[in-house]
Structure 1
Amino acid sequence: MSASVVGNAGAGSVVVFYRPDAGCVARANRLAEFGVCVVVDNTEKVVDPGALGLDPRIIYIANGANLGIATAINQGVETLIACGCLSAILFDQDSEPSERLLTELPRVLGKELVVRRKVAIVGPAYEDVRLGGVAPFVRFGCMKLKRIAPKGDKPIDVDFLITSGSCINLDVWREIGPMDDELFIDFVDLEWCVRARNKGYDVLGVPWLRLAHELGGKPVRIFGRTYPGHSAIRHYYMFRNAIALVQRSYVPWSWKSMELMRLPFRLAIYGLFMRPRLEHVRMALLGAWHGLIGRRGVL
């Protein structure tokens, strides 16, 4: 690790790989131009970073197994803290951040820390053209989400941000705690943001910034609406982790009521529109059962 990397006290980035292609590598290499970049690879086979084509400035962590998004983020963040970084911008391997996002998110965080003092994380609105364009920010409401249009020139108080593109204040990482390894993948971002807000920290959407990001797999169109598609195994984690979070005291009842109402609807969608239908339903029900009995981690 070079002295220039260790001495970088600005923003760093963390990218989580899983069976990356050449495009993923190219996107990570671009991030090396903007400060310390850590790539955490959850691919089952360990590959030399040079063979992958990664920029030599990138700090590469090969897990040799899929340890989940939470563990990978925690590894990357701890590496950035050791390098002296003050903030960490998190990315999935398919995210396409603009130069403006990479430079302005840490600036917004720094400015808000002066004004508000207690800010855990800031993040852009994400844009998935497959799902209809720019998604709104959200607050939890009784039985439904309150959708907030990403407009204006001031940060917006929200209840959670998706992981990719979000910028974490590393000064409060220890107090809030790491991402929850037991969740493995789904609701990891939501749980961390809820925990941060429960400890008195703000979660802020930055409405003038955008991140091109594909949420989920191939979208499914149902009754005129488009929903992100996922594999049966992802539906296992969604149901399991939703049930797990419902049992946690610090998670607000506004979210719990909404999620409990949506689970039967999701199960009906899986049984009617996802193929193979029985496998999607079976895995969702298994996830619900494991959530109830306390099974956590990787399936």
Structure 2
Amino acid sequence: MKRCAGMVTFNPDMARLQANLDAITPQVEEVFVFDNGSGNAQAVRELSKRYDGAVHVQGAGRNLGIAAGLNAVLQWAAARQYDAALLLDQDSVATSGMVDALAQLLTDDVGLVCPFILDRNRMTEEQYRSQRLPAVEQLTHGASHGAITSGSLVSVPAALAVGGFDDALFIDYVDFDFNERLLLNGYRIVKDNAVYLLHEKGKSGQTGLKVPRRRSDGTVVWAPLFTLGYNPMRCYYQARNRVIYWKKYHKWTKLEGLVEIPPLMALSLLEPHRFGKLRAYCKGIADGVRMPVKEYRP
């Protein structure tokens, strides 16, 4: 299986980006970086030169959004006849042997294989190893926790067959939307808990509160409640795109798109700039409800 990696950058922390590239370049043939108009785009290009031609950087000159950048990655991979592409956020770090392990599960009917996501702000490696997780899980819902963009090894032909990523979403729910289309078109999504990706979801902070959470093995534990630390723009897209997602995939009558948003709004009350974030959530809900959305049919 011919494998590459791709990521979309936007004003990346250069030390973390270097750690990302150091970790992934030994595991794939090439890495494609699509830069979304970063202020430090030249530094990204200079960093790429350290990898003996294995890292290629192209830029948009402006921020087109994560979905458009991921589509550029898929097109680049297809043009070079790669079978699979590992998708990464700019600040994620792949662990040793991760790609080989994921590739073993990427069979003809599997569109995406993802690792366990170890959020640096929420869990230690020791806590990850102490969990009683099934070695392999099959995910059956596009919005299932675990199958995010970063760390996912996707079949390039399958990704293109279902239309790639939805540029209109820009950021947030881009991965869940893509996953849903894979599933509706008959592809499987598999999670390999035996390997993990070091990642950060927003700028999480522990609140001191605890809430019940169900683990993969079915047990319910009291787990710390974390804030997300997103800026108002991300809050807007979180709300708008959740509503769009539920409208698009025949679930709007269940009102699940709206039901999921109040807990996020409540969390924002524990963060700085709370009123700006609340306004952004409200505007996102309103725009999502007003926006014409065609129900998806595979």
Counterpart check, 1:51 vs 2:46 = yes
Q: Structure 1 pair 228/128, CA: closer, same or farther in 2 (3 Å)?
A: same
The match for 1:76 is 73
Q: For 1:1-299, what aligned pairs fall within 5 Å after superposition? A: 10-20=2-12, 21-33=14-26, 34-45=28-39, 46-47=41-42, 50-54=45-49, 55=51, 56-109=53-106, 113=107, 117-133=108-124, 151-160=133-142, 161-221=147-207, 223-224=209-210, 225-248=225-248, 250-252=249-251, 257-270=255-268, 272-294=269-291
Distance 2:200 2:152 in 1: 15
Compute the displacement of 1:102 (Å).
2.1
**Partners of 1:164 and 1:203 in 2: CA distance:** 14
Once the 2 structures are TM-superposed, how far is the Cα of residue 279 of structure 1 from its aligned partner? 0.5
- Normalized against structure 1, the TM-score is what? 0.80
CA contact under 8 A between 2:23 and 2:93: conserved in structure 1?
no
CA distance, structure 2, for counterparts of residue 204 and residue 170 of structure 1: 16
Q: Secondary structure at the match of 2:58?
A: strand
Equivalent in the alignment of 1:141: none
After TM superposition, the structure 1 stretch with the greater mean CA deviation from structure 2, 155-164 or 70-79, is 155-164
Q: For 1:61 and 1:251, how far apart are their aligned partners in 2?
A: 37
CA deviation after TM superposition for structure 1 residue 275, in Å = 1.7
Distance 1:222 1:284 in 2: 24
Amino acid corresponding to residue 268 of structure 1 in structure 2: A
Take 1:239 and 1:273, find their aligned partners in 2: how far apart are those partners? 18
- 1:125 corresponds to which letter in structure 2? F
Which of 218-227 and 61-70 deviates more?
A: 218-227
Cα distance change, pair 236–220 in 1 and its aligned pair in 2 (3 A): farther
Distance (Å, rounded) in 1 between the aligned partners of 2:190 and 2:95: 19
8 A contact 1:274–1:280 mirrored in 2:
no
SS at match of 1:47: helix
Per-residue deviation, residues 13-44 of structure 1 (Å, max 9, x unmatched): 00221112133034225433321210111134
Change in Cα spacing, 1:203 to 1:282, as seen in structure 2 (3 Å) is: same
Alpha-carbon distance in structure 1 between the residues aligned to 2:163 and 2:34: 19
What is the CA distance between 1:168 and its match in structure 2? 0.5
Q: Which amino acid aligns with 2:111?
A: A
Give me the TM-score of the superposition, normalised by structure 2: 0.80
- Equivalent position SS for 1:247: helix
Query: Aligned pairs, how many?
Result: 265
Aligned pair in 2 of structure 1 residues 263, 23: CA closer, same or farther (>3 Å)? closer
Secondary structure at the residue paired with 2:85?
A: strand
Q: CA RMSD in A?
A: 2.5
